[in-house]
Each structure stands twice: as C-alpha cells, then as structure tokens.
Copies of this chain bind each other. A is one copy, B any other.
C-alpha cells in the first residue's frame, strides 16, 4: 500500500495507519507507567516525583506558509504549546527542528522566527533547542517545522481527553472552523473581500483561567478533523455519548458562507486556537465566565452535555437530531 494524503489528515484513515504501522512496531511506548504513545492523547507524560513531565510533538507542513492571521512559525509554536496545555500542564519550553528548501529566502525565515518567538512570548515559553537542515530545491517545497513541547504538571492535575463523565457540560472556547476555512478560501482565491482569518493562538491562558475556576474532566484542541473529530474521540475514549445544541455552537457568518460555497462542513476542519472541554456541570458557568475573560475566549459557549448514549448527537433548533460522525479525513489537507 502507498501512503496517501488522507493518511496525514486526521480522521479514520489516519488512525488505521497509525495503529498498524506505527503503534504496532513500537515495543516500549511509555516511561515509568506514564501516559504513552498507546493513549494517542495530546501528549505523553513522564512521572518524576509528584509531578509529570508532559511532552508532545508536531510536524508542520501548512500550505501556504503565510496566511491571514498567522504563518507556519506561529502555528508551529501554538500547536505544540496547545498540546502541552491540553494535558493541564504549564508549557515551559519548545524545541524547533526546521527543514528548509535550498533557495528559501532568509527574510522569510526571519519572519517565521519572529512570529514563532512572539507566540512563545505570549505565554512565557522558551525555545531551548533546535536543529536546522536544508534539502535541495527539487526535494522539498518551502519549509517544514517540527516542534516538541515540554511542560510540568502536578500528577493529580493531569487532564486527559478520555475522562468525560456523564452529566458534564461541553464548552467550546470560541467559533469553530476559522483556521481550516480561511486557508481553504485563500487557496480557492475567494478571500479577496473577506475578513476571515485563522484563529491560531496559544491556549495556555484560557486553560490556566479555566482550571482555576472549576473542575475540567477532559480536554482536547480540535485541530485536524476539526470539532467533529475531537468530540468523537473524547466520547469514544470515555465510553460515553454527547448531545449538542446545534444553534449554540459558535460559527462566524463568513465561515458559514465559505463553507456553504465550498461544500465543506465547518465542524470537520481544523481550528488552531480553540479548546473543547468537558466540565463538571455545577462549575460550567464559572468556568465559562473565566474563559470569556481571556482575549481568545470571548466567544466561548456551553454547547451540550455528556450522556450515557454512545453517539455524538446534534439537536437542531427545530427539534431534529442527527449523528455527528468522525470525519474520514480532514477535507482541507496540509492545514497545519
């Protein structure tokens, strides 16, 4: 079998490749009984005393490299900072491995580095180590960046993506679909008079405020495969169902417009500055209020609750109910 674009696009096709060819070949997948590769959580943990080191990695191949709202530097920093944050850990540092096409303009590299640095500064994260390689101009297009994030969290404060509890309220920290659809509209040339832009941003501020305000049971950032992928993965792993109110899920008008025009489900495309949380019902309003105080959380909303069903269901304003499926693959390739 040959690797296809869908193998890197989130969703079911990718999950199968990872289970067969990657997990199947790795003998030791965890350290000191920490969270390991098998969990396919946002990150892994390594227990050390009463704390856990959280570590996570991401390769970035976003196309185009520069887009409204960000660039590959910002996404490489934010994506990894967010995966550390999703484990409940304060992000401390990232490493930065860049592979660059021969002939790439140094000015563009400079812009990318400044953007990565600015994102790290927002949440006081250091770039502690790095590596730079160059490939011939006919062997690589542009630049790819792999970042690894490291954080620390008290063992009793680790937050998983697999621990939703029945009765939990589901919170999304803002509008869905912005990143994927802004990229897609840029590629299709329909962004000329749009204000649509990527939401790429570091989420640690939101997570810090939310964890201080109440009990978060499970958390995930809805990147490749979008909100539909994240909420299904959380429900599946937790062995629960979810009932969502369709009209409570925040979506920008421009996103809805572009998604109608392109025939792309906004729930299935990547977000790069959002968090999906399952929180204790009695804490939900306090947590929501705390999130709304963050500059990236103004459009946060409670959008549903965890049920004892085994599907993710969406109730429409007129009372109909449909299943929200795990996408086969993100409809927008090379989105991060």
List the interface of chain A (C-beta within 8 A of B).
Answer: 1-9, 14, 17-18, 21-22, 25-31, 34, 36-37, 43-44, 46, 48-49, 51, 53, 55-61, 92-93, 95-106, 109-110, 113-114, 116-117, 120-121, 124-136, 138-142, 144, 146, 148, 150, 152, 333-334
Contacts and interface: CB of A to CB of B under 8 A. Distances in A.
Q: How many chain copies does the complex carry?
A: 2
Given A59-B146, A104-B3, A109-B3, A28 B125 contact: yes
Contacts of A138: 141
A4 to B, nearest CB: 6
24 contacts: A1-B105, A2-B104, A3-B102, A8-B134, A18-B132, A25-B113, A26-B117, A26-B127, A28-B126, A37-B127, A46-B93, A46-B128, A46-B150, A57-B131, A59-B99, A59-B131, A59-B146, A97-B148, A133-B144, A135-B334, A139-B140, A139-B141, A144-B144, A146-B148
Nearest to A108: B3
Given A8-B132, A8-B133, A53-B53, 9 more contacts: A5-B136, A26-B127, A28-B126, A29-B128, A44-B129, A56-B129, A57-B129, A59-B131, A133-B334
A19 to B, nearest CB: 12
B93 A55 contact: yes
A139 B61 CA distance: 10
A23 to B, nearest CB: 9
A55 B100 contact: no
Given A44-B129, A133-B8, A26 B93 contact: no
Nearest to A60: B133
Contacts of A96: 57
A61 B135 CA distance: 7
A98 B3 CA distance: 12
Contacts of A113: 21-22, 25-26
3 shortest interchain CB distances as A-B pairs = A8-B134, A146-B146, A44-B128
